[in-house]
């Protein structure tokens, strides 16, 4: 949040810009054109795109269960923090004079859940400690390299978040069961 970009531009300015141009759409190319016109640096451009796209995801979220929170933070990392602010600003600005209280309170609760997951439950929801790695999976399951290893690691990580697995043995068993079900 307190980052400083090229030419000593504060991140706060990028957050304001994200909220202002959000209404123009969330497509990467459109945001990129605006960033190019404003002569933003490549890292600023990436951050701007992330803020806007993550804010759109927050606004459209229908649930805030542990798995959804994990997937949000896994995808957006630290950019997700600023996106929470952008989502709140965009939503508040869209209400004009009349605030739709139920929708606003739901968004506030979603923002609270997201921030609590990141700041209070980081190792439980955002990035649980790895029970296994790709090498152990390949060795134990007698597999070679390939995208299925990444799929298994994601499956295990998400199962940790939901509480389905908590030990290395449970993680390996889950991976084995998954492979059996796919063949």
- pLDDT (0 to 100) of residue 25: 78
Q: Considering the chain, what is the average pLDDT of its residues?
A: 92
Percentage of the chain lying above the pLDDT 70 cut: 99
Q: Write down the pLDDT at residue 5.
A: 87
Which residue has better confidence, 7 or 72? Answer: 72
Q: What are the tokens at 51?
A: 């803020």
Q: What is the three-state SS of the chain?
A: CCCECHHHCEHHHHHHHHHHHHHHCCCHHHHHHHHHHCCCCHHHHHHHHHHHHHHHHHHHCCCCCHHHHHHHHHHHCCHHHHHHHHHHHHHHHHCCCCCCHHHHHHHHHHHHHHHHHHHHCHHHHHCCCCCCCHHHHHHHHCCCCCHHHHHHHHHHHHHHHHCCCCCHHHHHHHHHHHHHHHC
Q: In this structure, are 34 and 90 located in the same domain?
A: yes
The neighbouring-strand residues paired with 10 are: 4
* Segments forming the whole domain that contains residue 61: 6-126
Residues 81 and 157 in one domain: no
Spatial distance between the Cα atoms of 140 and 133, rounded to a whole number of angstroms: 11
Q: What is the pLDDT of residues 28-48, one digit of tens each?
A: 888 989 999 999 999 999 999
Whether 26 and 92 map to the same domain: the answer is yes
How many structural domains comprise the chain? 2
Q: Are residues 109 and 169 in the same domain?
A: no
This model's pTM is above 0.85: yes
Confidence at 170, pLDDT banded by 50, 70, 90: very high
Confidence band of 98 (pLDDT split at 50, 70, 90):
confident
Confidence of residue 11 (pLDDT cuts 50, 70, 90): very high
Same domain, 148 and 58: no
Q: Do 110 and 21 sit in the same domain of this protein?
A: yes
Whether 57 has a pLDDT exceeding 90, the answer reads: yes
């Amino acid at each position: 949040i307190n980052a400083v970009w090229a030419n000593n531009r504060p991140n706060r300015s990028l957050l304001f810009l994200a909220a202002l141009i959000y209404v123009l759409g969330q497509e990467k190319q459109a945001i990129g054109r605006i960033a190019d016109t404003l002569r933003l640096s490549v890292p600023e451009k990436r951050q701007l795109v992330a803020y806007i796209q993550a804010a759109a995801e927050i606004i459209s979220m229908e649930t805030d269960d542990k798995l959804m929170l994990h997937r949000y933070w896994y995808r957006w990392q630290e950019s997700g923090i600023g996106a929470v602010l952008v989502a709140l600003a965009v939503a508040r600005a869209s209400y004009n004079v009349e605030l739709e209280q139920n929708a606003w309170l739901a968004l506030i609760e979603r923002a609270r859940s997201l921030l609590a997951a990141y700041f209070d439950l980081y190792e439980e929801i955002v990035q649980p400690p790895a029970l296994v790695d790709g090498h152990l999976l390949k060795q134990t399951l007698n597999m070679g390299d390939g995208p299925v290893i990444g799929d298994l690691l994601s499956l295990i990580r998400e199962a940790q978040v939901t509480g389905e697995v908590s030990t290395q043995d449970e993680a390996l068993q889950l991976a084995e069961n998954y492979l059996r079900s796919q063949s």
